[in-house]
Amino acid sequence: MTSRTYLAFQHDASLHNLETIVMAVHPFKTLDESSRQLFKDAEDCHVVVTEKTIFHPQGGGQPSDIGVIKGPAGTFTVTAVRMDADGQVLHLGVFEDSSSLFKDGEAVEQAIDVEKRLLYSRLHTAGHVLGSAVRHLLEKEIENFDELKASHFPDSAACEFKGSIEGKWKDPIQQRLDEYIAAKMPVQIEWWDEDDFRSRGLERLIPDRSLVPAGEKSRVVNIVGAEVYPCGGTHVDTTDLCGPVTVKKISRKTGNSRVSYVVKQS
C-alpha cells in the first residue's frame, strides 16, 4: 500500500513554504503508464513524492502550483503537479544537475510561486461567486437548472450550467456578481459529513462516496451569504479579494450554457 500525500494546502492555504520528507524520486520514464498519462512532454523530467505538500495538483478546474523544492544537495524546479489514483501527489520537474537528486527520507523545503497561487485562488473563488450569482438569479427561471462544471484557468475561466441562459441575463449576472464581490463575504473552509449537508438542505451537494476517503469528511468552501461548494482548491479569504471580475459572454450548446469570466490581473 502506498501512503497518500498529506495535502497541507487544504488545511492552511497561507503556507507558502513547507518542510517535509522525500518519500520517493522517480525518473519520469519509469512511472507506470497511468501516471505518465497525467503529464505532457516530460520525458527528461523527474517526479518527486513527499510526505506532505503545499503544491496544489491540477484538478477541480484549477491549474497546478509551480515553484521549487530545495534539498541539501540542490534545487528541484517544479513545473507541474498531479495526483495519482492512490492519492500521491506527483511533483514533476528538473534537478539542477545529476548530483542534486534527493534521497528517500531526506528533509526538503517546498516553496510555491506565490504570485501564481494568488491568481489561481482569485480565479477559483471568483468562479464560485459567479456560480452563486447565476444560481440565485436563474434557478427558478430556467427549467432543470443546475451547475455542471467550471474552469478556473486564466485564459479559459468559465462556469457551465444545465439549461439555456439567454444573452439578456448577462448584465443582471454582472450586477449580482459585483454585489457579491463588494459585500466582502467571508470565504470559509469547512469539513462536513453527510449529515452536515442534509441538515442544511444541501443533499444535492453530497459528494460521491468514492471521492471521499473512508473515515474522512468532505472539504467544502462556504461563501457566507451566498453558496456552499464541495471543493479541494485554494481560495481568497473574502470575496472582495477576487478583485474586479467581468462576465465576458454567455454561449449555449446542446441545452447547456457557458458563462465565461476574467479577473483583473496587474
Cα(218)–Cα(193) distance, integer angstroms? 6
Indicate the pTM of the whole model.
Answer: 0.94
Element (H, E) at 126: helix 114-138
Sequence-ordered list of residues with C-beta below 8 angstroms from that of 102, at least 6 positions apart, any chain = 22, 25, 48, 69, 71, 73, 76, 108
Q: Give the tens place of pLDDT for each residue, 53-80.
A: 999 999 999 999 999 999 999 999 999 9
Please name each of the domains of the chain with its CATH number.
6-112 (2.40.30.130), 117-263 (3.30.980.10)
Q: Give the tens place of pLDDT for each residue, 204-254.
A: 898 887 767 777 899 999 999 999 999 999 999 999 999 999 999 999 999
